[in-house]
Amino acid sequence: MALFIAACTTTPPQDVVLQELHQRAERRLIQEARALVVQRRYNEAIAVLQRFLDTHSRSSVLPEARWWLARSYHATGKTLQALVQYRLLTQQHQDEAYAREARLRIAEIEAQLGAVSAPHHPVTGVLLTIDQLQVPLHKTLHDWMAAFNNGKPRVLLVDFPCRHLEPQRKISRSPLRIPQTIAWKTVVEQHLKPFVKRMRAWEGVVYVAVTPRCLGTYGLVTVSAEWHDRIFHPATNTLRPSPFFSLSFPPYQDLVATRLEDLVKTGIAGILFRAGAPLGPYEGFHPASLQEFTRVFGEPLNPVHLFTGRESQTEEGRRERPFSWKTARVSPLFWRWTGWKARSRLQILSDLLQRLREQQPSLRAGLEVHPESVVHPVQGLARYSEDWIAATHKGFDFFVLDWTPSRRAVAIQTGGRIRPPALAQAALEQMIQYLRNPRRIWVILPRESALHPNRSAGLDELMALPRDVGRIVTFPALP
């Protein structure tokens, strides 16, 4: 009998007890914050709730915490911050009752701000470069867009692609000349702004796509050599200038922010941060980055200590070949550096976005990611400094996959249907599963996938894509 009683009174496993204690602590914090809101002590509630979100990112009561944080921001007049939290609620917890209420609050705030709501239909549109806007193609573009948009243009995505600068062999303080370029004011006022107005007349909108590490090449004759990032060459254990600029360098950050604000002033509906010029494993060693890493971790970083082995190839071959998991050997410090580099990049983009939304609260923002970063996150982290899961918590409205040859995802035409490579298709499926909202995903397609006026088939029949996924088709190159 004693054995039976002892068996019935056995204490639960320690991990179960700890989990229950953790959940009780979370509930107490939420109750404390809710009480502060009821007492109209909103600033104190904001501090408690923000701390909760930072330390309990996987909590089951996260939707409630975000809801009360949004309410507190709204009550203190911080409308933009409230809008961001309401949007995160609808994006990350769309099945929750709080998310349904948040949608109503978003509509109220956007109406108050005179903002344009997110589209209620899948995005379809055309991608073309800013250089293509500099020629008279209005009617051609309108007809081409209308051919596969049910007769009505919707989205024009204007890309500011990277302008190639020849990398210097040595680090220098001398200013570097940029190939012939048009004045920035001319690009914005005479090329982009008229198209924003024209698209409104066509009942469409304009988004702008930029590669932040390259934006400094537009509208300038010379740039400071200090702007250039640094590349590490393991064969010689030396740093050399990168052809791309460093977002970690404050003066260049300020230039990018100013350029983006100029673009927003034209009335664009959104902005896309493209994945070109990624921070590869040998990139990102600008002095500003190294100084910040030292400040955060309390120890200086020597790039030599990141790579513990050398590949048996020439220096030139190493420069041209991508990072290889089979031949490269890295130290544990490499992963600390890589993780920090990815977080730093994402935080810089998030800060830029917040600054732009202070100017235009309705601005929609997207982030392009490489398929490898979705399917193989560790490889994506090392090769591109991308952490797309972390990015879903940074206020981006949509995410983009590029299926054009320029992103090495060359489509293969088979039986009248454009089929993406397996990696790109797997990335799309995983993104849909994680986001649970296909409309938050856009795919940039080769121009061959567009519906030409003499075809009767619909775009959905040409592409093996879920119906709600956004489609952006590349505009044909000009002759």
Please report, for residues 140, 244, 326, the alpha-carbon distance to residue 288 in angstroms, rounded to integers and kept in the order given: 46, 15, 31
Listed as ranges, residues in the chain with pLDDT below 70 are: 1-19, 94-96, 111-123, 134-153, 164-182, 220-222, 308-328, 405-420, 447-464, 476-479
Total residue length of the chain: 479
Helices (H), 39-162: 42-55, 62-75, 79-92, 97-113, 138-147
pLDDT of residue 318: 42
Tokens of 302: 């020597």
Rounded to an integer, what distance in angstroms lies between the CA atom of residue 257 and that of residue 251? 10
Phi/psi of residue 78, nearest 5 degrees: -90, 70
Question: What is the phi/psi pair of residue 464, to 5°?
Answer: -85, 65
What is the pTM for the complete model shown?
Answer: 0.74
Cα–Cα distance, 315 to 83 (Å, whole number): 51
Residues β-bridged to residue 126: 156, 473
H or E segment and range at residue 252: helix 250-265
Q: Of 421, 446, 445, give the one whose Cα is nearest residue 371.
A: 421
Which H or E element spans position 19? helix 14-38
73 closest CA partner among 37, 39, 103: 37
The domain locations on the chain are: 17-113, 124-474
Report DSSP state, residue 177: E
Tokens representing 289?
């980055």
C-alpha distances in Å from residue 356, one per residue of 186, 261, 264, 342:
21, 6, 7, 21
CA dist 127 and 335 (Å) reads 36
- Half-sphere CA count of 388, side-chain side, radius 13 A: 31
Rounded alpha-carbon distances, angstroms, from residue 50 to 83, 316, 319? 15, 49, 44
In this predicted model, what pLDDT tens digit does every residue of 120-161 receive, in sequence order? 556 688 888 888 876 666 556 666 666 555 555 588 899 998
Mode of pairing for the β-strands spanning 228-233 and 238-245: antiparallel
- Residues contacting 419, CB < 8 A, separation 6+: 411, 412, 413, 425, 464
Secondary structure of residue 54 in the 3-state scheme: helix
| pLDDT value at residue 260 | 96
How far CA 101 is from CA of 70, 81, 105, 164, 393, in Å, comes to 12, 17, 7, 48, 20
What is 17-113's CATH topology?
Answer: 1.25.40
Rounded CA-CA distance 290/286 in Å is 6
The correct CATH number of 124-474 out of 3.40.50.720, 3.40.720.10, 3.20.20.100, 3.20.20.80 is: 3.20.20.80
d(CA 33, CA 44): 8
| Tokens (6 digits) for 293 | 């890493």
pLDDT in tens, 34-63: 899 888 888 999 988 888 887 777 787 888
Q: What is the 3-state secondary structure (H, E, C) of 350-397?
A: HHHHHHHHHHCCCCEEEEECCHHHHHCHHHHHHHHCCCHHHHCCCCCC
The neighbouring-strand residues paired with 241 are 230
- Give the model's pLDDT for residue 365: 93
Res 141: pLDDT: 67
36 token code pair: 């502060």
pLDDT of residue 204: 83
Closest among 465, 430, 472, 422 to 447, alpha carbons compared: 472
Phi/psi at 31 (nearest 5 deg)? -65, -40
Burial tier of 383 (Cβ tally within 10 Å: 0-12, 13-18, 19+): buried
- Alpha-carbon span 325 to 379, nearest angstrom: 8
State the pLDDT at residue 191: 85
Residue 207 φ then ψ, to 5°: -110, 155
